Amino acid sequence: MSSEITHDTLGAGSGDTTERRYQAILRLDKALSKCRTPEDFAAILSEQMRDCLQFLKFYIVVYGEEFNEELWAVTGELECITNLPVQHRPSWRAYASQEPFYIRDWDTDETVPAILKQQISDQRLHPSSLLFVPLTTAQWRLGALGVSAAPATVYNAEDIRFLRLVSSVVATALSEVCNLSDSEESWRESQHRTSQLQRTDRELREVIESIPAMAWSATADGAADFFNRRWLEYAGLAEDEARGVGWTNALHPNDLNGLLKYWQELLASRRAGEYEARLRRADGEYHWFLFRAIPSFAQDGTVIKWYGTNTDIEERKKVEQDLRRSESYLAEAQRLTQTGSCAIDGSSRQTLYWSEEMFRLLGFDPQLGLPQWDDWLQRVHPDDREMVKLASDRAFLEKQDCEVEFRLVKSNGTIEHIHGIGHPVLSPDGELIQVVGTMVNVTTSKLAEEAQEKIRTLEAELAHINRMTTIGELTASLAHEIKQPIGAAVTNAEACLLLLNRDPLDLTEASDAALGMVKDARRAADIIDRVRALYQKGSSSRQLVQMKDLIREIVVVLLNDAHRQSVTILTDLSDDLPPVEGDRVQLLQALFNLMLNGIEANCGKAGQLTVTSRLAENGHIQISVTDTGIGLPPESRERMFDAFFTTKPGGTGLGLAITRSIVESHGGRVWATPNSEGGTTFYFTLPAMVR
């Protein structure tokens, strides 16, 4: 089936040029059948050959067989020299010898007659390269067909062969309009068609065999009658096997019916066409081919022949499949991420493209076409429309990237949150061409953020409740500890009054008593401040915290309670640890929960609580709290940090859960391991500040 190929070289070394010439011959045969004047022939030749041969002009000369003179001609300036004898003209040389006459260089070519060179010199002409070939039918010598070209042009053997083939087609058409005798005309009518078809068919087959394409021909009824060697070698079929409908054995079974149906449609319509189907190679592998067919017509308009080519498009099909696969992956990725993409004209703001997900995202039907700006803007929440307009103006008017988050009201009344991004595409001179953008459904993440905020609020409330519960347990211990400095302060105050009333006045001892009273009052205030930090609601801002100082504060608070339960508190704190950045109150509570949990784990029996701090290998600070209590049952170890899980009677199950939440929010982690001699060790790490 036929193929359109761009003319790029003069020589026939290019398979594309040869195939294009083959197609041009078919078109020329049809076009010349309508010519009646010499000028018509020259015009048609120039039109049909311009993509197949490099030339300046075509010349046609018809000679009388017996009188050796021109009957009529369309000639150039060289043929029009009136005083030049006929036998010295280039056209006559080709006509008389029945061989091509080619003048490449008028100055050096020895075949140019001297009289012709003299005439050219006298008239100061500057002729170009010139080539004439015989204009001959199967029975009659008519004249010569010539072509001129720029001086730098060189015609090779294949160009000359092609021009001779063109001349045979022209000669056949010319014989229809030349003034031949009645007897000659009668004989020509009976012999012309058969001989010309045979000659043309032979010439075309030679061309077909030489082109680098897979070519074939078929009779008017569609039965294949010829395949070139390249076609047969590819399919691994003998010519007898391929003729008729035998070639269909090489078609892929899934493509057979479709191609045959299309072939029948072409035969009925008598028009050229093309179809894609898979053809089996000799080794059994199928490749995609483009089947092209073009009809050849007789003068009465009936189809006398079909010619075609098969072009391997396997690589193109693979590229197309890869492209479709990529588009499918992109569409699936957009569907999974709920991301739509679009393109809008930079000047008219007309919608140029919406992805499939864009239609789903904004709730439009793709069958109704591309929605325009005002269409989808109406679905934006009324309170957000102005914000969307301002963002759009930033992209279209200011030619800058824009980003906006807005609410979309769906047709069922539900509200979704959309995050949009627009990017202007500019021409080299800075003109806005398009704005491309994406829109992402962020409703899930938006709701997750709101839920997370509620969780954080709830955790803060639970932490406060936990602290208040803990403070209640420490009330008796703290009352005893605070009572001691207050009692000492009262004693010092009474002593100060007595000393002030003594005569003589003893100011030195009175001053010492007053200073003691101040010291005791401050000690009581410090104890109260430490306790108040545990139950005050909310959290302080983050700051640098020395963990050893925090541990010592909690030891002071818990010391009395530990003595009351016969528990000894020991510490092993590294002095050169870097600080951590964190919320002091929250870290205080996390430590407090672990240490109080360790004291209570002894269940009233004498025991020991050891708190250590050190620098871990990953640059984190590691704190461990080790008790000698009853330990945790194996079945409870995986759940000990779960909220509301507890093994203590009357416990809330919040202490360890809150501790884990606090530690993880500071970038650390917490875990527990059983001790080999009983009890449990709780560990937690926090990232240290780089010094």
What's the CATH number where 597 sits? 3.30.565.10
Does residue 650 have a pLDDT over 50?
Answer: no
Residue with the bigger pLDDT between 622 and 6: it is 622
Res 490 pLDDT > 80: no
d(CA 107, CA 170): 31
Residue 330 is assigned to a structural domain of this protein: no
CA distance 315 to 131: 42
- How many distinct helices (H) and strands (E) make up the chain? 18, 22
If one counts every other C-beta atom within 10 angstroms of the C-beta of residue 54, the result is 19
Q: Are residues 437 and 480 in the same domain?
A: no
Shared domain check, 494 and 451: yes
> Is residue 540 a contact partner of residue 583, using CB atoms and an 8 Å limit?
yes
Rounded CA separation 291/646 (Å): 80
At residue 602, the pLDDT reads: 81
The more confident residue out of 235 and 501 is: 235
pLDDT average, residue stretch 215-241: 90
Up-side HSE of residue 221: CA atoms within 13 Å toward CB?
A: 4
Task: Tell me if 324 is assigned to some domain.
Answer: no
CA distance 372 to 385: 15
- Under the banding of pLDDT at 50, 70 and 90, the label for residue 43 is confident
The predicted pLDDT at position 182 comes to 43
CA-to-CA separations, 92 to 111, 173, 197, in angstroms, rounded: 13, 20, 27
Name the residue with higher pLDDT: 676 or 502: 676
Q: Which pLDDT value is given to residue 472?
A: 56
Radius of gyration of the CA atoms of the chain, in A:
51
Give the lowest-confidence range in 185-194, 396-405, 622-631: 185-194
pTM of the model: 0.32
Domain boundary among the residues 206, 221, 236 is at 206
Residue 438 is predicted with a pLDDT of 82
250-304 pLDDT per residue, tens: 999 999 999 999 999 999 999 999 999 999 999 999 999 999 999 988 878 888 8
**Spatial contact of 50 and 42, defined as CB atoms under 8 Å apart:** no
Higher pLDDT, 396 or 209: 396
Asked if residue 417 lies in contact with residue 443, where contact means CB atoms within 8 angstroms, the answer is yes
Rank 192-206, 223-237, 386-400, 518-532 by mean pLDDT and report only the highest: 223-237
Q: How open is the CA angle 141-145-147, to the nearest 5 degrees?
A: 165
pLDDT: which is higher, 497 or 5: 497
Measured distance CA(628)–CA(598) in Å, rounded: 8
pLDDT mean over 192-216: 64
Q: Which has more pLDDT, 280 or 33? A: 280
CATH label of the domain that carries residue 285: 3.30.450.20
Which strands sit side by side in the sheet containing 214-218, from one edge to the other?
224-227, 214-218, 303-312, 286-297, 273-280
Q: Kindly tell me if the per-residue pLDDT of 179 is higher than 60.
A: no
Q: What is the mean pLDDT of residues 387-399?
A: 86
Q: What angle do CA 132, 62, 44 make, to 5 degrees?
A: 70
Q: Residue 191 — pLDDT band, cuts 50, 70, 90?
A: very low
- Dist CA 477 CA 481 (whole Å): 6
For residue 85, give the CATH number of its domain. Answer: 3.30.450.40
Considering the chain, what is the average pLDDT of its residues? 78
Please tell me the predicted confidence (pLDDT) of residue 461.
66
Taking 60 as the threshold, does the pLDDT of residue 391 lie above it? yes
Closest CA to 574 of 618, 613, 624, 616: 613
**pLDDT (0 to 100) of residue 470:** 57
652 vs 649: CA distance, rounded Å: 9
Q: Which residues of 459-483 are buried (b: 16+ CB within 10 A; e: fewer)?
A: bbebbbebbeebeeebeebbeebbe
**Most confident option among 487-501, 628-642, 674-688:** 674-688
Lowest mean pLDDT, pick from 83-87, 224-228, 338-342, 363-367: 83-87
Q: Determine the Cα angle at 260 with ends 259 and 262, to 5°.
A: 65
Q: Over the stretch 594-645, which tens digit does the pLDDT of each residue have?
A: 888 888 888 778 899 999 999 987 889 999 999 998 887 776 666 667 655 5
**Same domain, residue pair 532 and 643:** no
Q: Name the pairing type of β-strands 402-409 and 351-354.
A: unpaired
List the structure tokens of 15. 């398979």
The confidence score (pLDDT) of residue 195 equals 56
Taking a C-beta distance cutoff of 8 angstroms, is the pair 17, 287 a contact? no
- Of 62-71, 448-457, 623-632, the range with the lowest mean pLDDT is 62-71
In which residue are the tokens 């498009």 written?
313
* pLDDT reported for residue 232: 92
CA distances from residue 609 to 103, 117, 339, 603, 624 in whole angstroms, order as listed: 116, 125, 56, 13, 10
Nearest alpha-carbon partner for 557 in 465, 481, 486: 481
Taking residue 93's Cβ as centre, other Cβ atoms within 10 Å add up to: 20
Q: Tell me: do 400 and 343 sit in the same domain.
A: yes
Give me the pLDDT at residue 187, please.
39
The DSSP-derived string for 425-465 is EE-TTS-EEEEEEEEEE-HHHHHHHHHHHHHHHHHHHHHHH
The pLDDT confidence band at residue 483, using thresholds 50, 70 and 90, is low
Mean pLDDT of 13-35: 75
Phi-psi region of 125 (alpha: psi -120 to 50; beta: other; left: phi over 0): beta
Structure-block tokens of residue 183: 């007897």
386 and 453 belong to one structural domain: no
Instruction: Give the integer Cα–Cα distance in Å for 106 and 103.
Output: 6
User: Among 413, 441, 469, where does a domain finish?
Assistant: 441
Structural domain contains residue 321: no
460 and 348 both lie in a single domain: no
Q: What is the DSSP string of 174-208?
A: HTTTS---HHHHHHHHHHHHHHHHHHHHHHHHHHH
Question: What average pLDDT does the segment 553-562 reach?
Answer: 81
Q: How confident is the model at residue 3 (pLDDT cuts 50, 70, 90)?
A: very low
Give the pLDDT score at 656: 78
C-alpha closest to that of 211 among 189, 241, 231: 231
- Give the pLDDT band (50/70/90) at residue 495: confident
More confident: 20 or 101: 101
Let me know whether 602 and 678 are in one domain: yes
CB 434 within 8 A of CB 352: yes
**CA end-to-end span of the chain:** 80
Confidence band, pLDDT 50/70/90 cuts, at residue 203: low
pLDDT in tens, 573-595: 988 889 999 888 788 878 888 88
Same domain, 129 and 274: no
H/E element, 16: helix 15-32
Q: Is residue 527 situated within a structural domain?
A: yes
At 329, the pLDDT band (50, 70, 90 cuts) reads: low
Q: Does residue 326 form part of some domain?
A: no
Convert 469-523 into a string of H (helix), E (strand) and C (coil).
HHHHHHHHHHHHHHHHHHHHHHHHHHHHHHHHHCCCCCHHHHHHHHHHHHHHHHH
The strand pairing partners of 425, in sequence order, are 434
477 and 572 assigned to the same domain? no
Whether residues 436 and 562 share a domain: the answer is no
Answer yes or no: is 576 within a domain. Answer: yes
Q: How many domains does the chain have?
A: 5
> Which of 412, 441, 470 is the endpoint of a domain?
441
The CA-CA-CA angle for residues 118, 119, 125, to 5°, reads 105
The answer to whether the beta carbons of residues 302 and 315 sit under 8 Å apart is: no
pLDDT-based confidence at residue 193 (cuts at 50, 70, 90) = low
Based on the domain organization, do 152 and 60 belong to the same domain?
Answer: yes
Domain residue limits at 375: 338-441
Q: What is the mean pLDDT of residues 409-429?
A: 84
Position 99 scores a pLDDT of 92
Of 197, 243, 173, nearest to 29 (Cα)? 173
Helix or strand (DSSP H, E) at 111: none
Query: What is the per-residue pLDDT across 125-166, written as a single tens digit (0 to 9) for each?
Result: 677 888 999 998 877 888 899 998 887 788 898 889 899 989
C-alpha 238/C-alpha 552 separation (Å) is 100
Q: Residue range 348-367: average pLDDT?
A: 82
- What pLDDT is recorded for position 13? 43
pLDDT for the residue 10: 34
Let me know if residue 270 belongs to a domain.
yes
With pLDDT > 70 as the criterion, what percentage of the chain qualifies? 76
Higher pLDDT, residue 194 or 628: 628
Preceding amide of 100 cis, omega within 30? no
Which strands make up the sheet holding 432-441, listed edge to edge? 351-354, 339-345, 432-441, 415-426, 402-409
User: What six digits make up the tokens of 182?
Assistant: 């009645």
Cα separation, 137 vs 178, in Å, equals: 12
Statement to judge: residues 418 and 558 lie in one domain: no
pLDDT value at residue 11: 37
Q: pLDDT tens for residues 516-543? A: 777 767 766 766 665 565 555 454 567 8
- Report if residue 238 sits inside a domain: yes
